[in-house]
Amino acid sequence: MQGSKDVMQSEQQTAPLAAAALMLSAMAIIGVIDNAVVLLAEEIGLWQFHFTRSLAMLPLLCVLPVLGLGSLRPRRPWRVALRSLLIALAMLFYFSALALMPIAQALAGLFTSPLFILVITVTGRRTRIGPWRVLAVVLGFAGILFVLQPDPEKLDLMVFLPVAGGFFYALAAIATRTICAGESTVALLAGMMLALGIMGLCGLLWLALFPAHPAPGPAGFVGRGWVWPMGAAGPWVLVQAVGSLAAVFMLIKAYQLGEPSQVSVFEYSVMVFGPLFAWVALGQVLGPWQVAGIGLIAVAGGIIALRSR
The residue type found at 136 is A
Q: What is the mean pLDDT of the chain?
A: 81
Residue 91 amino acid letter: M
Q: Is residue 243 part of a domain?
A: no
pLDDT in tens, 96-122: 988 888 888 888 888 787 778 777 877
Q: Which of 45, 67, 5, 11 is nearest to 216 (CA)?
A: 45
pLDDT tens figures, 151-208: 666 656 677 888 899 899 888 888 887 888 778 878 888 898 999 999 999 999 999 9
246: confidence class by pLDDT, cuts 50, 70, 90: confident
pLDDT reported for residue 176 = 80
Q: Of 114, 194, 185, 104, give the one whose Cα is nearest residue 146.
A: 104
Q: How many residues are listed for the chain in this entry?
A: 309
Residue 107 included in any domain: yes
Residues 6+ apart with CB under 8 A from 290: 104, 105, 108, 146, 147, 149
CA distances from 246 to 104, 143, 153, 241, 293 (A): 22, 30, 44, 9, 29
118-148 as b/e, with b when 16 or more CB fall inside 10 Å?
bebbeeeeeeebeeebeebbebbeebbebbb
Residues 7-10: contacts with CB under 8 Å, at least 24 apart? 8/256, 9/256
Number of alpha carbons in the 13 Å side-chain half-sphere of residue 67: 13
In a domain, 140, yes or no: yes
Q: How many of the other CB atoms lie within 10 Å of CB of 216?
A: 9
Q: Kindly give, in sequence order, each residue whose CB lies less than 8 Å from that of residue 268, ignoring residues fewer than 6 positions away.
A: 111, 297, 298, 301, 302
What is the predicted pLDDT for the residue at 281? 78
pLDDT at 128 over 60: yes
Q: Which amino acid does the sequence have at 231?
A: G
**Model confidence band, residue 5 (pLDDT cutoffs 50, 70, 90):** very low
How many CB atoms are closer than 10 A to CB 261? 14
The answer to whether residue 3 scores a pLDDT higher than 60 is no
Residue 306, Cβ neighbours under 10 Å: how many?
15
The top-scoring range by mean pLDDT among 74-78, 229-233, 290-294, 301-305 is 74-78
Among 45-59, 63-77, 147-161, 197-211, the range scoring the smallest mean pLDDT is 147-161
Q: What mean pLDDT comes out for the span 134-142? A: 78
Quickly state the pLDDT bin for 305 (edges 50, 70, 90): low
Nearest CA among 131, 86, 140, 85 for reference residue 112: 140
Q: Which whole number is the average pLDDT over 205-221?
A: 88
Containing structural domain, residue 72: 45-232+287-307
pLDDT of residue 9: 44
Domain count for the chain: 1
pLDDT at position 226: 92
11, part of any domain: no
Across 78-92, 214-228, 252-266, which has the greatest mean pLDDT? 78-92
Residue 58 inside a domain? The answer is: yes
More confident residue, 136 or 264: 136
**Is residue 190 a part of any domain in this protein?**
yes
Residue 286: phi, psi to the nearest 5? -100, 145
Question: What pLDDT shows up at residue 54?
Answer: 93
* 1 domain residue, yes or no: no
Q: Which residues contact 295 (CB under 8 A, 6 or more apart)?
A: 143
pLDDT tops 50 at residue 6: no
pLDDT reading at 275 higher than 70: yes
Mean pLDDT of 75-79: 91
- Residue 111 within any structural domain of the chain: yes
Percentage of the residues of the chain whose pLDDT score is greater than 90: 20
